[in-house]
Structure 1
Amino acid sequence: MLLLAACGGILPVPKAPSNLYNLSPKSNFDPGLPRVEWQLVIEEPVAAGGLDTARIAVRPSHLELGYFGDIRWTERAPKMVQTLLVESFENSGTIVAVGRQAIGLRADFSLKTEIREFQVENFGGGKIRVRINAKLIRQPRQIIVRSASFEAAVDDPPTENMEDSIRAWDEAMGTVLRDIVEWTIVEGQRAYGG
């Protein structure tokens, strides 16, 4: 018992992160986007193990991935990106129905995405980089009708204030969200026959 008690004394006590951050959905789109009558399911994005976390990633070099100490996203990055995509499509006002797989939507298309880059890069001048690969899939036959990659890089402000970096991250993510929504609506309508 004394040995167990002694071991318990040296185990670190997990502490709650001091700051949690989230990004905002996109709400401004090309006014010429068509209004579509088909339905879309947004699947949870796939991400490499290093990005499939609520920890905020930083790359000190091309070959190294680390994390900021005591700050986090409000949820795992893939789940957060899925939420941002759903809300951005809703904000576009162009699609009759959009949702997650879990709500049981009988969709005409599904959008599969993979998060390839989602980090601060502390080399080459310091950038926030977001890169997402997307595949638009016709249901129910699971046929890939279009695929594309979307990327944005924004200068990471040279300050110690994390909120400045999060604002830059929000700008980069907003660019990618807008591009994915507009591409999906246009390409989906072409594939749907409109």
Structure 2
Amino acid sequence: MRVLMPLKACSVALLTLSSLSGCAAVSALGSASEVLDVYELQAPRTLPEGPVRARDVVIELPTTTGALQTDRIMIRPDPLQAQYLPGVRWGDATPVMVQTLMLRTLEASGRLGYVGRRPLGINGDYAVLTEIVDFQAEAVPEGPGAVVVLSLIGRVVRESDLRIMGTRRFAVQVPVASVSEAEVIAGFDQAAQQLFAEHGAWVLSVVR
């Protein structure tokens, strides 16, 4: 995992949103004047070998809930509450980061003619649509640890006739020993490596 140089040292505690709600809470976090340490997750470097196809694939910006429309790193103390690790953030908002990881994974495969956020012409050959379901750590009630939970729903659409060529749900869970900054980020990186490797291999199997 490559981690951007921290801007400052910080102790890890949970930043609660109990006094804020919905998009207002996310907006307030994003506009805070506090300087935050920045982390980036790395895309898988290798995918299974296979045929090269001269296809243009567009990775659309993923959709998700309001609580994940932020660059803050989510941790849930229970299924109904969204909190964020203080003093740290992702390099981009979660949907943009996920889009980048999918794009870089497919680019690294060398098996497509073009992979991008926008088509080269009016349309690409295929579009990858994604719904982010989970992208958080979840505290373990009976101990100091947590579980990093990543899941998404992917769809590949053929642009020529708008036919859905495939739909699949991807889910990865990685336990971590504590909710410390280092443990949680390492857990996210491990989970992301597995998730995007599986997603990239699937997209390549669907694109013809």
The answer to whether the superposition gives a TM-score over 0.5 is yes
2:175 is equivalent to residue 158 of structure 1? no
Tell me the equivalent position of 1:24.
Answer: 42
Deviation at 1:158, TM superposition (A): 2.4
Tell me the equivalent position of 1:5.
Answer: none
Q: Could you tell me which amino acid in structure 1 is paired with residue 39 of structure 2? A: Y
User: For residues 106 and 98 of structure 1, do their structure 2 counterparts lie closer, same or farther at Cα, with a shift above 3 Å needed?
Assistant: same
Tell me the equivalent position of 1:9.
Answer: none
Q: Could you tell me which amino acid in structure 2 is paired with residue 71 of structure 1? A: V
**Aligned partners of 1:41 and 1:105 also within 8 Å:** no
Work out the CA distance in 1 between the residues paired with 2:53 and 2:172: 27
Match of 1:170 among 178, 183, 189: 189
Structure with a larger share of its residues in helix: 1
Deviation at 1:104, TM superposition (A): 4.9
2:74 is equivalent to residue 57 of structure 1? yes
**Aligned partners of 1:40 and 1:109 also within 8 Å:** yes
Deviation at 1:103, TM superposition (A): 5.8
Matches within 5 A, 1:182-193: 182-189=201-208
Tell me the equivalent position of 1:74.
Answer: 91
SS of equivalent residue, structure 1 residue 135? strand
Work out the CA distance in 2 between the residues paired with 1:103 and 1:166: 35
Deviation at 1:105, TM superposition (A): 7.0
Query: Radius of gyration: which is bigger?
Result: 1
Work out the CA distance in 1 between the residues paired with 2:158 and 2:206: 11
Q: Could you tell me which amino acid in structure 2 is paired with residue 67 of structure 1? A: Y
Aligned-pair identity (%): 27
Deviation at 1:141, TM superposition (A): 2.5
**Aligned partners of 2:46 and 2:109 also within 8 Å:** yes
Q: Could you tell me which amino acid in structure 2 is paired with residue 180 of structure 1? A: H
Deviation at 1:21, TM superposition (A): 0.9
User: For residues 73 and 141 of structure 1, do their structure 2 counterparts lie closer, same or farther at Cα, with a shift above 3 Å needed?
Assistant: same
User: For residues 14 and 188 of structure 1, do their structure 2 counterparts lie closer, same or farther at Cα, with a shift above 3 Å needed?
Assistant: closer
CA RMSD, 1 decimal: 1.8
SS of equivalent residue, structure 1 residue 101? coil
**Aligned partners of 2:64 and 2:95 also within 8 Å:** yes
Deviates more, 1:15-24 or 1:98-107: 98-107
